[in-house]
Amino acid sequence: MSNVLPHSLFTDFDIDLFKAGKHFRLYEKLGAHLIEKDGVKGTYFAVWAPSAKAVSVIGDFNHWLEGDHPLNVRWDESGIWEGFIPGVDQGSLYKYKIHSHNNDIKTEKADPYALYCEHPPNTASVVWKLDHNWEDTGWMGGRKDKNGLDKPFSVYEVHLGSWKRKNGNEFLSYLDLADDLVAYIKETGFTHVEFMPAMEYPYDPSWGYQLTGYFAPTSRFGKPEDFMVLVDKLHQNEIGVIMDWVPSHFPEDAHGLGFFDGSNLYEHPDKRKGYHPDWKSLIFNYGRNEVKSFLISNALFWLDKYHVDGLRVDAVASMLYLDYSREEGEWEPNKYGGRENLEAIDFLKELNEEVYKNFEGVQTIAEESTSFPMVSKPTYIGGLGFGMKWMMGWMHDTLTYFKKEPVYRKYHQNDITFSMTYAFTENFMLPLSHDEVVYGKHSILGRMPGDEWQRFANLRTLYTYMFTHPGAKLLFMGAEFGQSEEWNFQQSLDWHLLEYDYHKGMKTLITDLNKLYRNHPALYEKQFSAEGFQWIDYSDSENSVLSYIRKGNRSEDDLIVVCNLTPIVRDNYRVGLPAGGKLVQRFNSDYKKYGGSGVSNKKEIPIAEKEWQHRSFSAEIRIPPLAVVVFQIL
């Protein structure tokens, strides 16, 4: 006699939606759910395994032996196996033992919908019920007014395992981070934090980008509720939460999604579409309805159950193109003869439609490195529907430019100005991310030329240029205080550097840049619109000087930005201005408190009615060496 009682959480409508690829709350049905049936407490299990001929639940409650708890396959050809096991309680470890029709292969798989997983390298799923008393009503109720495209968006990118460690080299827990990390982000003034993948992953060197537990926060740092505490505390401190999300590929680990029921269930069966040669991982079958339901359900899960404010979607370019990282003959054109992956494109559009339809005030952000059109435009006009896109071209050109000795920069003025020719084709986020500080690329500080003073001055200039350039901002942890070495995921950031004045000054600079960004609407109200930017002069390559206006909704909020990209002080430098009055300095990256030389301007500079740079008014200013100065007209 079976120890499994018949039970189902599925209605016929649920099954119809699942088969049609339209069920986007699958986490409420599939997986392990603690319930009470006829007065008996236990757990309902449900798993999708259409190619299986038998599925059993094995776990610490039956000595990991199959046969005691066989699940029943549904009659409706959905491929779902389900049943209720009395007495299985919170914290029980389990897996699915799957017998396949395919050559009688037997596999032991973790639950794709598990809410909690064992601490790696152990691989079992854990029966769990999410239970947290949220205290972020204020944030969630007003989120649309804080998380919009016309609001400051300054993101601190964090790898949870290496931001800071304790007791030698132990991880901080989610609860530790809820104290230390939240206080630090609040102090430095970032508006958002972005977590590199916090879902369960088996292999530390993957940094979390090869997932096996899509619905479970990694147990490395604590329980699921502990992660909720971290998100809750961030929200209570007015900090938005973005999570990296990886629908582009998954690893081949034996307990994971690969070859799940003895067939290519989650991955595309054609290796040309289902295997990623660079990452040696499997690619989802975006054309399979049930897989699409799995992925979109997973995206909505984090927004629903964990109150997350945005998803940064990893490796979108690899999804969009059939020939991504493939040689001729290793890919097959689509039905129109093109290289676009039409099924992945349709999936991304539907993903974004569902996210924005179901959750007010959230954002999706594409990490997309090609010139694929309209990534951050609405689907109803033919776009992919993302809220923002990483501006990889800006990142590459800017770092290439700043790496050059200032004496040569006059020959490369176009490198630093080119971004403005396409800055408003998408809603761009400017990323100086983890990818730029690994694999021999050096830290951002390590790229800067010159002696110690010049390296820090260059970095201050780069950051101030970044914060006054149109678009949202993203800095990887450690960049805000001038981390000297490349990022190492196996250890803490070099916090001892803050004992030194230049590094301390860099952190102060970033804190003040975040204040500048938050406090001046001209820097964010029209950050994705050509109306929010106007060149004063981009052609002074001889002096390597740039000048431009940032504009908000009101002209009185406009800011004048002047960048000196050489270590030569520019005295009596005349700048064309849009109006008369007085020029007041609002920011100067050369202040001594940042480690600068202290070259500055008078509190108020009279504006003359003298035509200059095709403008009716102008003023003479002093531009400090390797610095950016920001003014306002009063």
Question: What is the C-alpha radius of gyration for the chain, rounded to an integer number of angstroms?
Answer: 27
Hunting for tokens 């979108």 — which residue is that? 316
Cα separation, 97 vs 107, in Å, equals 6
For residue 269, which phi and psi values (nearest 5 degrees)?
Answer: -70, -25
CB 163 within 8 A of CB 196: no
Among candidates 132, 126, 97, 131, which has minimal Cα distance to 31? 126
Cα separation, 367 vs 209, in Å, equals 13
pLDDT at 293: 98
pTM for the structure as a whole: 0.96
pLDDT at 600: 92
pLDDT at 103: 66
Amino acid (1-letter code) at residue 391: M
Cis-peptide into 247, omega within 30 deg: no
Hunting for tokens 């260059």 — which residue is that? 458
Domain boundaries, the chain: 12-109, 191-388, 391-634
Q: Which whole-number Å values give the CA distances from 578 to 179, 564, 618, in the listed order? A: 47, 21, 8
Structure tokens that stand for 419 in this block:
């971004």
Cα separation, 370 vs 156, in Å, equals 24
Q: Is CATH 2.60.40.1180 what the domain over 391-634 is classified as, yes or no?
A: yes
pLDDT at 1: 44
pLDDT in tens, 562-605: 999 999 999 999 999 999 999 999 999 999 999 999 999 998 99
Active site residues: 314, 367
pLDDT at 206: 94
Amino acid (1-letter code) at residue 81: W
Domains 191-388 and 391-634 share a fold: no
Structure tokens that stand for 200 in this block:
């369960």
pLDDT at 49: 97
Structure tokens that stand for 550 in this block:
């940032």
Chain centroid offset of residue 423 CA: 20
* Angle at CA of residue 475, ends 387 and 553, nearest 5°: 50
Cα separation, 303 vs 466, in Å, equals 29
12-109 folds as Immunoglobulin-like (2.60.40)
191-388 folds as TIM Barrel (3.20.20)
Q: Which whole-number Å values give the CA distances from 559 to 256, 591, 612, in the listed order? A: 52, 19, 18
pLDDT in tens, 210-264: 999 999 999 999 999 999 999 999 999 999 999 999 999 999 999 999 999 999 9
pLDDT at 520: 98
Ranges of the chain whose pLDDT falls below 50:
1
Q: 452-468 and 392-403 are packed helices; what angle lies between their axes, rounded to 10 degrees?
A: 150
Cα separation, 121 vs 204, in Å, equals 10
